[in-house]
């Protein structure tokens, strides 16, 4: 890695965000999402998408979008991490408070790196299965009583501003008697957002339908949901050839 990048990362450490770009076509979505989570430090861009034939164009996209969000982007020139230890090392060197990983659930055998980072996060983590920016019509954040909901609720409003769309929280309850408590939970986590409480729905089906309708769904890693199933079902049949919705899975470091 470049010494200058490492030195600057130490200066910008508070609130720094480390982003792992794995494909060039998703640089715009990842940068907009990550920039919303930067807490005053730099956005440290790393990954194979920033190197090779199309890497320069992707790096320019990252720099431009970060500047538009008032964030300093730093393009790292070192080798991209390929395992959990490498991600932990980079996060420590950048003193990152948030790591954003481009999630590739459709790769053969699943995305081992993303699974490992989510299971053993170096700090707060977002896995992002990017869709098309043009398909994002609304930010929907599924919240529950677990530890990851505050992270996603905090970011929801910033994501809405970044993409120029409305945002709402979503909570599922078992019965009508639980609706009031569900609304109270949503308002406690994100008082400025509209709260939607669904009764008696299968959670995985509910999230998949919301993702297909809005183009964006975020949920906590501790929800009892088949995550690969959600990602695979975000687009209805007639949109099967398109990228589908953006799916974000968040986990707060413990």
Note the pLDDT of residue 221. Answer: 86
Task: Please say whether the beta carbons of 30 and 100 come within 8 A.
Answer: yes
* Range 21-35 burial, b when 16+ CB lie within 10 A, else e: bbebebbbbbbbbbb
Note the pLDDT of residue 232. Answer: 58
* Average pLDDT value for the chain: 84
Q: How confident is the model at residue 178 (pLDDT cuts 50, 70, 90)?
A: very high
Do 124 and 139 belong to one domain? no
Do 66 and 168 belong to one domain? no
Render pLDDT for 52-74 as a digit per residue (tens, 0 to 9): 778 889 999 999 999 988 899 99
Question: Which of 89, 112, 128 represents a domain boundary (last residue)?
Answer: 128
Does residue 240 register a pLDDT over 70? no
Do 120 and 139 belong to one domain? no
Note the pLDDT of residue 207. Answer: 86
Residues of the domain holding 120: 3-128
pTM (2 decimals)? 0.85
Render pLDDT for 159-174 as a digit per residue (tens, 0 to 9): 999 899 999 999 999 9
Do 90 and 155 belong to one domain? no
Do 123 and 138 belong to one domain? no
- The rounded distance, in Å, linking the Cα atoms of 221 and 230 is 13
Do 109 and 172 belong to one domain? no
Do 48 and 32 belong to one domain? yes
Q: How confident is the model at residue 80 (pLDDT cuts 50, 70, 90)?
A: confident
Q: 31 to each of 1, 17, 25, 38, 176, how far by Cα in Å?
A: 20, 10, 12, 10, 40
Report the number of distinct structural domains present in the chain: 2
Do 184 and 224 belong to one domain? yes
3-state secondary structure 91-118: HHHHCEEEEEEECCCCCCCCCHHHHHHH
Question: Which of 66, 96, 128 represents a domain boundary (last residue)?
Answer: 128
Do 122 and 148 belong to one domain? no
Render pLDDT for 132-151 as a digit per residue (tens, 0 to 9): 899 999 999 999 999 999 99
Note the pLDDT of residue 203. Answer: 82
- The rounded distance, in Å, linking the Cα atoms of 202 and 110 is 24
Do 72 and 165 belong to one domain? no
Question: Which of 128, 150, 169 represents a domain boundary (last residue)?
Answer: 128
- Residue 108, burial from CB neighbour count under 10 angstroms (0-12, 13-18, 19+): exposed
3-state secondary structure 207-238: HHHHHHHHCEEEEECCCCCCHHHHHHCCCCHH
Q: Which residues contact 132 (CB under 8 A, 6 or more apart)?
A: 29, 215, 242, 243
Do 89 and 168 belong to one domain? no
Do 7 and 120 belong to one domain? yes
85: part of which helix (H) or strand (E)? helix 84-94
Render pLDDT for 26-59 as a digit per residue (tens, 0 to 9): 999 999 999 887 866 899 999 989 987 788 899 9
Please report how the helices 3-11 and 84-94 are oriented relative to each other, as an axis angle in degrees rounded to 10: 60
- The rounded distance, in Å, linking the Cα atoms of 30 and 79 is 19
Start-to-end CA distance of the chain, whole Å, equals 28
Render pLDDT for 187-222 as a digit per residue (tens, 0 to 9): 999 999 999 999 998 888 888 888 889 999 999 986
CATH number, domain containing residue 176: 3.40.50.620
Q: Which residues contact 11 (CB under 8 A, 6 or more apart)?
A: none
Does residue 236 register a pLDDT over 60? no
């Amino acid at each position: 890695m470049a010494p200058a990048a490492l030195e600057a990362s130490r200066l910008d450490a508070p609130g720094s965000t480390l982003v792992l770009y794995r494909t060039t076509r998703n640089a715009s979505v990842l940068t907009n999402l990550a920039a919303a989570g930067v807490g005053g430090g730099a956005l440290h861009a790393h990954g194979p998408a920033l190197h090779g034939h199309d890497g320069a164009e992707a790096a320019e996209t990252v720099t431009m979008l970060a500047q538009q969000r008032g964030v300093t982007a730093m393009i790292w020139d070192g080798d991209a991490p390929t395992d959990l230890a490498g991600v932990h090392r980079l996060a420590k060197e950048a003193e990152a408070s948030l790591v954003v990983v481009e999630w590739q659930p459709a790769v053969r055998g699943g995305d081992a790196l993303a699974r490992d980072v989510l299971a053993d996060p170096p700090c707060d983590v977002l896995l992002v299965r990017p869709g098309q920016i043009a398909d994002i019509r609304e930010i929907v954040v599924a919240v529950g009583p677990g530890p990851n909901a505050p992270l996603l609720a905090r970011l929801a409003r910033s994501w809405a501003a970044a993409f120029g769309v409305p945002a709402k929280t979503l909570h599922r309850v078992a019965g009508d008697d639980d609706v009031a408590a569900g609304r109270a939970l949503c308002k406690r986590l994100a008082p400025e957002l509209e709260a939607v409480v669904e009764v008696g729905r299968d959670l995985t089906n509910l999230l998949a339908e919301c993702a297909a309708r809005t183009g964006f769904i975020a949920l906590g890693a501790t929800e009892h949901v088949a995550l690969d199933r959600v990602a695979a079902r975000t687009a209805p049949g007639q949109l099967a050839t398109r990228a589908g919705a953006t799916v974000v899975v968040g986990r707060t470091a413990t």
